Structure 1
Amino acid sequence: MSTTFLLIRHAAHDRVGSTLCGRMPGVTLGEEGRRQSAALAARLEREGIAALHTSPMERARETAAPVAARLGIEARVNEGVMEIDFGAWTGRSFASLDGDPDWARWNEERATARTPGGESMAEAQSRALAELERLRARHAGETVAVVTHGDVIKAVLAHHLGLRLNGIHRFEIAPASISAVAAWDGGGKVMGMNETVPA
C-alpha cells in the first residue's frame, strides 16, 4: 500500500534569487508569499491530507500555517525535512559567491561536493528520504503534505527518478509549488512535479 507525499516548496520571500538563506533565521514570507500560501491552502483542501509536516524554518512554517488552518489539522515541525545546512555560505548573496571555486564545484558536482562547514547534498538527501520512509510507515494508504525547501525536494525527486544528484539542474522547483511522490515499501515513483497555483 503506497503513501502519497505532496512535497511543497515554501512560498516566496523577499530574498529569493538574491541570497543563499539556508538556515538563516528571520527569513519570512513577503506579500507575494502570503498570497501564494493562501492559494496553496485552497488548492490542497481537496486532497484528503491526513498529516501536515513542515521544516522548522520560519518561511516554511508560515507557508504551512494557512494550510493547517484551512484543513483543520496540526502542522508538525519536522527536523528531517529541514533546509540544507550551507555552513559558511549561509546568508551570503549569490553575487558574492560568483567566482568562488568551491561554489562552482557545489553547483557542478552535487553528488560529491560539500558546503563549507555544512552538509553535502547526499547527506541532505539521505536525511529527507529517511524521514519520508518513517512517515510512509506511519501513514500507509494516506496522503501526507510536507512543506520544505527547493533543494530538499529536488533531492527526493532525483532519488525516485533515478537521477544522480548532479542532474538536479535539469528541472525546476518553484516557490509554493507542489510535487507528488507515491512511495511504498522498497520503491516509489514521481506522480507530478512543480505544480504552481495562481495566487
Structure 2
Amino acid sequence: MPTLLLVRHGRSTANTAGVLAGWTPDVHLDDTGRAQAAGLAERLAGIPLVQAVSSPLERCAETLAPLLAARPELGPAASDERLGECHYGDWTGRPLAELATEPLWRTVQDHAAAAAFPGGESLRELSHRTVTAVREWNEKIAVEHGSDAVWVACSHGDVIKAVVADALGLHLDHFQRISVEPCSVTAIRYTPHRPFVLRVGDTGSLASLAPRPSPATATAEGDAVVGGDTGAH
C-alpha cells in the first residue's frame, strides 16, 4: 500500500505570535516558514510523488507552493477540509499563554479523548475525520498508482499527531507525546494488515523514503521483519 508523507505547514505568523490560529483566515507563513517551505521542495527532490493533498488553509497552501512549482506534473494540490485544522471554537485567536490557565487545558494535555472545545469540535471528532480522510485517500491512490506510490499531504500539528496515534495504535489520550515541528515530515506506510510509522516530525534528509526494490528476504506485504528491517523500505 502507498506511503503517506504528512507535512506540517511551515512556521506561521500565528506561531510566532503565540496565538491559536485554528481556522482564522489570512494566517500566512512568516519569513522562516517560507524558507522552510523552499527547503521542503529540496528535501523531497529525490522522491517520486503521485499526489499532493492539502488543508484548505493558506499556511498549508503556501508550504506546498515551492514543491508544486518544482513538480508541475503534480498539478495543483487537492484540497480536503477533513485535513484542516481542529475547529477550536471559542479558543480560536486567543493567546496560548492565556489558554494555559483554562481548566480545559489540562484535559487537552492529559485526557485528550475527553476534550471538546467550546463552540468547536472534540479531539475525538478531529481524529475520526482526519484518519478517515487519510485512509480514503490512501485507498484511492493505491488503486490509481499502485502499492509503491508515495503521496504528500500538508496539514496541521494536532491533525498529524492524531493520525500518528492511530497508526501506532496509541490511545488518543497519549497523542500529546508525539511532537511535530513546523515543516517536519511524518512518513507512514500503510499495508493491508498494519501501518508502519517510518518517520515522525523529521526535519532532515528524506532520501531513504524513496521506493526501492524489495530485498530477497522480503516477507508478505504488511508483515514486520523479525529481528529488524534492513532499511530497504
Identify the TM-score tier after normalising by the shorter chain. Answer: over 0.9
Larger radius of gyration: 2
In structure 1, the residue matched to 2:45 is 45
SS of alignment partner, residue 144 of structure 1: strand
Q: Which has the higher strand share?
A: 1
* Distance (whole Å) between structure 2 residues aligned to residue 169 and residue 129 of structure 1: 17
SS of alignment partner, residue 46 of structure 1: coil
* Distance (whole Å) between structure 2 residues aligned to residue 102 and residue 28 of structure 1: 28
In structure 2, the residue matched to 1:123 is 125
Counterparts in 2 of 1:1-199, with a 5 A limit?
2-16=1-15, 18-72=18-72, 73=74, 74-140=76-142, 141=147, 142-197=149-204
Answer whether contact 1:110 1:165 (CA < 8 A) is retained. Answer: yes
| Structure 1 counterpart of 2:67, one-letter code | V
* Distance (whole Å) between structure 2 residues aligned to residue 154 and residue 118 of structure 1: 19
Answer whether contact 1:42 1:70 (CA < 8 A) is retained. Answer: no
Cα deviation, 1:124-180, whole Å, max 9, x if unaligned, reads: 111111111111111112111000001100000001111111212222100000000
| Structure 2 counterpart of 1:56, one-letter code | P
| Structure 2 counterpart of 1:132, one-letter code | V
Answer whether contact 2:111 2:174 (CA < 8 A) is retained. Answer: no
Q: CA deviation at 1:16?
A: 1.1
* Distance (whole Å) between structure 2 residues aligned to residue 61 and residue 185 of structure 1: 31
Normalising by structure 1, report the TM-score. 0.94
| Structure 1 counterpart of 2:112, one-letter code | R
Calculate percent identity across the aligned residue pairs: 35
State the structure with bigger RCO (CA 8 A, min sep 6), 1 or 2. 1
* Distance (whole Å) between structure 1 residues aligned to residue 22 and residue 192 of structure 2: 31
Unpaired runs of 5+ in structure 1? none
Answer whether contact 2:6 2:153 (CA < 8 A) is retained. Answer: yes
* Distance (whole Å) between structure 2 residues aligned to residue 29 and residue 144 of structure 1: 23
- Range with bigger deviation, 138-147 or 31-40: 138-147
Normalising by structure 2, report the TM-score. 0.81
| Structure 2 counterpart of 1:24, one-letter code | T
Cα deviation, 1:12-61, whole Å, max 9, x if unaligned, reads: 01221611111111110000000000000111121101000010011011
Give the alignment's Cα RMSD to 1 decimal.
Answer: 1.4
